[in-house]
Structure 1
Amino acid sequence: MDLAMLRTLALVAQHGSFAEAARVLGLDPSSVSRIVANAEASLGLRIFQRTTRRLRITEEGEIYLRRVVPLIEELEHAREDAGGARSAPSGTLRVTASVAFAHECIVPHLGDFHDRYPEISLELLPTDSTLDMLANGIDLAIRLAPAPEGDLISTRLIRTRYRVCAAPGYLAKHGPLSDPRDLSGLNCLRFALPEFRSRWLFRRTGEEAFEVAVSGRTVIANALSLRQAARDGLGPALLADWLIDGDLARGVLVDLFPAHDCTATEFDTAAWALYPSRSFLPRKVRVAIDFLREKLKTDPTTASLSATSQLPSRAPSPPFLQSGVRK
C-alpha cells in the first residue's frame, strides 16, 4: 500500500467525510471513496462503517491508524525536510484574521514576509466574522479567544491582556478614576459582543476577581473604531494590549487601572493560529506561523507579552486518534 493511499485513509478519518478529505486532496469524493475501498480490500479490514447519513471509523480501523499515522507523519516530514533543502516554501497562502488584528499585527510585516518567502503568494482576508476554514479554502486563521474550541488545530501566537483606558482629555474633564468600581454609571464605550457589553472583570494579584457593571450610549462592533472613540475622549474602553500599547507609550491613552488585570471573558486569553490539519501541515503554513510568532514577539507593541510555546517540529497524532479535547 502506497503513502498516498494511507494519507487518504488518515484524512478521511480526521475529517469524518469523504467530501472534506477530497477537498484537502483536490480530488473528487468518488475517487476518495474508491481509494478507501481499495485500501480496505488490500488490508482485509473494514476501516470505516458507512451508512447513508454517517461515516465512522471502526474499532479495527482506529487500531490500525493509531499505529500507521505516526509512520505517515515521519515519512511526510522526511520528504518535507529533504525538499526544503533544495526548494523554498511556495504556493498561495490564504489567511484570515479580525480586521483590527490584521491591520495592527499582520499588514505591517507583509514586506518582510514577502522578502523572506518570495515564492509564497498571500491572500489576507480581514473580517470580524468567523469564516469556515474548509468551506472558504483558508489555510490559516488567527482567532482571539481564551482557548479555541472545535475540531481545528491551534497553537498560541501571543498571550493577550486587556486594559481599560481613556484619553487624557476625558480624564481632565471627568476626573481621575482610582477604582474599577468607579466605572459604574459612566458613559463607557462598549464592544458589540454579548460578554463585553454589560460587565467587565477585574482582579489584583492574590485577590479575588470581581465584576463591574458597565453601561454607555455607544456600542461599536469594530475594535479600531472603538479605539478611535476612546482616543477622541468619548469614554473609557476595554481594549487589547496589542491594539493600544503604542497609544499608552505615547500618552494618547491612559491605562486607568494598571494594578488590575482586566477582561470581559477570561483572564488567560491569547491570539491563536488555527489550521485544519496537524498531520499534514504544509511548509507555507508552518513558516507563516513561525514568522508571525517571531514578529509579534519582537514588535514594539507586543514585546512586553510573555513568550509562547513553539510549534512542535514533530506533531503528535491527529485529533481523531486522541482522547480529550481537540485543540
Structure 2
Amino acid sequence: MAKLFEPFTIRDIEFKNRIVMSPMCMYSSHNEDGMIEDWHKTHYTTRAVGQVGLIIVEATAVQPAGRISIQDLGIWSDDHIDGLAEVVRLMQHHGAKAGIQLAHAGRKATVNSDIYAPSAIAFNDKYKTPVEMSKDDIKTTVQAFKDGAIRSKKAGFDVIELHGAHGYLINEFLSPLSNKRIDEYGGSAENRYRLLREIIDEVRTIWEGPLFVRISAFDYSEGGMTPEAYIEMAKWMKEQSVDLIDVSSGAVVPVRIDVFPGYQVKFSETIKAGADIPTGAVGLITTGIQAEEIVKNGRADMIFLARELLRDPYWPYTAAKELRVEIQSPKQYERGWMF
C-alpha cells in the first residue's frame, strides 16, 4: 500500500488516507447571511464520494466583520449550526472526516462595516484602512473563535482548523510586517503570538478533537516571517496541544511569489523537523507520485489539495491508478471504478 493511502490517526480520529481537501472560499452564501446553500452540499459531498480522507470546509467567519466577502459562510450565530450539520452528515456518510476552518479576515475583509486589524494599516490602496483593535476588541474576537468552536462541535465536525495564514487577522498579528503595536500584542515574537495563544487556549477548553492551525510560513518580504522563525511558534503550538500545522505561505503583504510544483513543501519539511510536529503540505501538488514522495520521505504527514480537487473531484482514484494501488470504491460506482 502506498503511504498516501495509509490510515492516519490524530487523537481518536482515524482518517482513511492522507488526502485532505484544503479550505477554499466558494463565495456562495448569496443572501449574505453566512448560511449553507445547496451548492455547498453538492460541492463537499462530491469530494467525499471521491474518497478524500478529510474535507475542510472553507474559511468560515466567526464574526460578520471578519468575512473575506459578504458571501462567505458564517458561524457567528447558532442559526448557522443546522446547515453546517447537514454538510457534515453528508460528508461523513460517504466515509470522509469533516473539518471546518474558523477564520477572521482582519484588514482583508471586504464588508460594508468597519474592518479590524492589529494596526491601522491597509493591505494596499484597494482595501479600506482598518480600525486598530482595542483590548476589548481582541477579547471579543477571542470569544468569537471559542463560540465558533462550540458551534462546530454541535454541528458534528471531526476537525477544527484555525486560519492563521494568507494575511488574515491571526496572520496579521503574527507577522511584524502588519503588526506595529507597542502593547503586549506587538513587538516580540511572544507578544505577536499572544492572540493565537489566547484563541488556542480558549478553543481547547471546549474542543477535545484534532486541532490544526494554518500558517503562512514565509512572507517573501524583508523583515517578515520565515519558516525558521516559525519553528519557535510551532513549538508553542505543540505545547498548547495543536495537533498539526497546515503549512502555506504568503499574502500578508502584497508581493510577487515565484510558484512552481511543490514550492511550499520545503516549508512544511522545515517546521516538521524543527518543531517535531505533524504538518500538512500544500501548493501545486497535482499528482499521486508527487504526493507519495512527500509523505514517504517524511516531508509532511498529510497532503492538502486545493485547485486540483476543483479540477478532479475523484483525484484519490486518479492518484491510486497512478501509484498502482487499489482503493475502495463507492458501492454505486463499482462497475466503473476499475484498476
TM-score normalised by the chain length of structure 2: 0.24
Q: Which has the higher contact order (CA 8 A, sep 6+)?
A: 1
Bigger fraction of residues in strand = 1
Q: Which has the larger radius of gyration?
A: 1
TM-score normalised by the chain length of structure 1: 0.25
